[in-house]
């Protein structure tokens, strides 16, 4: 009888878990057991960095507002990453499912800005998610954006100089 009682408790717990998950989901509340924790992390590997000086700044946008300025006060999140062996990784944990775009710059001199020459052309590396190319100006949010379904996601952004 003890075995069937334990089995009944597991069924009740599972039903409680499912009911709680269904009720919490519309409010953005995440309910999970230890072995069901969703990744919800976006990893952006930055490639094509020229040298190991400075750092990489990545701006994470959930809309076109402010895109693609990195770093930007309009970005949902801005992170910096150290450069190792001419590569870096920007990590955005706990991202909700949605459509996003990332702009990355190689801040080689550490001044916090994307430096430009007298014509306004960047003198430091820059890149965008979906490897959207800058031609006569930055790409649009629409061109650089990607869908995120809530599972762990690995992207590669290639810098251009």
pLDDT value at residue 135 = 84
Q: pLDDT of 2-57, one tens digit each?
A: 444 433 333 333 333 333 333 333 333 343 433 443 469 999 999 999 999 999 99
Q: Are 44 and 155 in contact (CB under 8 A)?
A: yes
Q: pLDDT of 64-97, one tens digit each?
A: 998 987 666 778 889 999 999 999 999 999 999 9
Which residue shows structure tokens 């800058």?
Answer: 134
User: What number of other Cβ atoms are within 10 A of residue 36's Cβ?
Assistant: 9
pLDDT value at residue 70 = 62
Instruction: Tell me the pairing of strands 126-128 and 77-82.
Output: unpaired
């Amino acid at each position: 009888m003890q075995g069937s009682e334990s089995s009944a408790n597991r069924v009740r717990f599972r039903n409680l878990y499912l009911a709680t998950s269904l009720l919490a989901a519309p409010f953005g509340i995440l309910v999970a057991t230890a072995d069901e924790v969703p990744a919800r992390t976006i990893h952006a590997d930055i490639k094509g960095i020229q040298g190991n000086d400075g750092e990489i700044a990545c701006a994470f946008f959930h809309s076109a507002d402010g895109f693609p300025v990195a770093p930007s006060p309009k970005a949902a999140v801005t992170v910096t990453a150290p450069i190792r062996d001419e590569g870096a990784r920007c990590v955005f944990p706990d991202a909700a499912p949605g459509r996003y775009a990332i702009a990355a710059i190689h801040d080689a001199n550490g001044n916090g800005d994307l430096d430009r020459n007298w014509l306004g052309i960047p003198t430091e590396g820059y890149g965008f998610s979906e490897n959207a190319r800058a031609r006569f100006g930055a790409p649009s949010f629409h061109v650089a954006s990607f869908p995120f379904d809530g599972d762990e996601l690995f992207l590669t952004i290639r810098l251009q100089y």
